[in-house]
Amino acid sequence: MSETLDLAMVGCGAISAMHLMGLREGATRTRVTAAVDSDRARAEAVASQTGARVFTTLDEALDRGDFEAVDLMLPHHLHEAAACQCLAAGRHVLLEKPMAPTPEACARILEMAARVGTVFMVAENAQYWPEVLTAKSLVDDGAIGEVVTARSSIFFPPMEMYYGGDRPWRMERRSAGGGIAMDTGSHWIRPLRMWLGEVDEVVAALGRPFERMEGESLVRALLRFESGVVASFDALLTSGGIAPGSLFRITGRDGEIAIDGTGRVKLYDGSSPKGQVMGEPGGYLRSYAGEMRDFERAVLDRKPLDAPAESSLGELRAALAMVRSGESGRWEKVWE
């Protein structure tokens, strides 16, 4: 069994900085041996930090590079072709979410992964978000009793990975496959699913206040889970100022859990009506360390992934159902 994992980073844009940070903090047995990007300068920037060999095409990297695994961080419409190519070449694959923009494309990737048998993981870092895990432990331990409802909210200004460069691909429906529900929204849908189970149906209103984005930049939705619990999901990309507020609230019969943007989880119950801080200080960015560690352990230690690749279909299908609901004005089933 190998003691180290040689990794190719494919797509060296803004998100690669998060993955590099995650590798440094959580996956110390992994070394980056190839940096691949059609923009050579971006690949060289990653190589300068890692000592990786630079390639400008995936074909060239697979032919001449020395690595067992790939970390694919590409525009959404390129996911299927790149993932299937790497899997067919016998590489382990970590693929940024969404797996692909359509369930049909996801099914083809999963079929290839099953046929080849290497590790295939979809990088949904919210699965490893420290505050989300603390809240899950509280819910599972009955700290707030039976869950009545929950709220998930992400309002954010344009970031470099959204709006940077001359042609930001997230602004284009063709390359992104949709808007914020499919992309950033997935990080706020996964925690709801971790706490409440699978989503059955959604109803949503959508808008485009950030006009440069071809997909939706505003979502207000209700999600009904298979348990019958109804939660709300709000997402907004805006160029205006954003007031501070809770990212998540989980309300039970005996209390409430709130997660704010500072990395704090507070439990409100009969003994702590003003809220008690729970768990260690976390922070969204720490989730990348857990994500990269999980992939490393799956490859090197043959440990089962904390969340199989198929689990990412829940966020994708929920987002697509929201878009359908925005058009139909009705509740839309997630798994039909």
**Do residues 43 and 37 make contact, with C-beta atoms less than 8 angstroms apart?**
yes
Residue 7's pLDDT is 98
**Do residues 31 and 2 make contact, with C-beta atoms less than 8 angstroms apart?**
no
- Give ∠ CA 108-103-173 in degrees, rounded to 5: 110
**Alpha-carbon distances of 22 from 15, 19, 30, 106, 159, rounded to whole Å:** 11, 5, 11, 25, 19
Percent of the chain past pLDDT 90, that is, above it, reads 85
User: What tens digit of pLDDT does each residue of 20-32 get?
Assistant: 999 999 999 999 9
User: What tens digit of pLDDT does each residue of 179-219 get?
Assistant: 999 999 999 999 999 999 999 999 999 999 998 899 999 99
pTM of the model: 0.95
- Alpha-carbon distance 148 to 319, whole Å? 23
Supply φ then ψ for residue 50, to 5 degrees: -125, -15
From 111, 41, 22, 40, select the one nearest 32 (Cα to Cα): 22
Residue 274's pLDDT is 87
Cα 142 from chain centroid (whole Å) = 27
- Alpha-carbon distance 213 to 156, whole Å? 14
Q: What helix, strand, coil percent values describe the chain, rounded to 5? A: 40, 25, 35
From 266, 265, 261, select the one nearest 242 (Cα to Cα): 261
Sheet arrangement for strand 265-269: 272-278, 265-269, 255-260, 246-252, 147-156, 230-237, 218-225, 199-207, 332-333
336 band by pLDDT with thresholds 50, 70 and 90: confident
What is the three-state SS of 276-315? Answer: EEECCCCCHHHHHHHHHHHHHHHHHCCCCCCCCHHHHHHH
- Alpha-carbon distance 49 to 244, whole Å? 34
Domain boundaries, the chain: 5-123, 127-284+316-333
Residue 205's pLDDT is 98
From 296, 332, 306, 299, select the one nearest 317 (Cα to Cα): 332
CATH architecture of 127-284+316-333: 2-Layer Sandwich (3.30)
User: What tens digit of pLDDT does each residue of 298-321 get?
Assistant: 999 999 999 999 999 999 999 999
**Do residues 198 and 231 make contact, with C-beta atoms less than 8 angstroms apart?**
no
Residue 48, pLDDT > 70, answer yes
DSSP one-letter code for 52: P
Peptide bond before 281: cis, by omega within 30 degrees of 0?
no
Positive or negative: CA dihedral 261, 267, 268, 273:
negative
**CATH 3.40.50.720 given to domain 5-123:** yes
Percent of the chain past pLDDT 70, that is, above it, reads 97
Residue 278, pLDDT > 70, answer yes
Fold match between domain 5-123 and domain 127-284+316-333: no
Supply φ then ψ for residue 220, to 5 degrees: -130, 115
| 294 vs 165, residue with greater confidence | 294
163 band by pLDDT with thresholds 50, 70 and 90: low
User: What tens digit of pLDDT does each residue of 104-153 get?
Assistant: 999 999 999 999 999 999 999 999 999 999 999 999 999 999 999 999 99
User: What tens digit of pLDDT does each residue of 71-117 get?
Assistant: 999 999 999 999 999 999 999 999 999 999 999 999 999 999 999 99
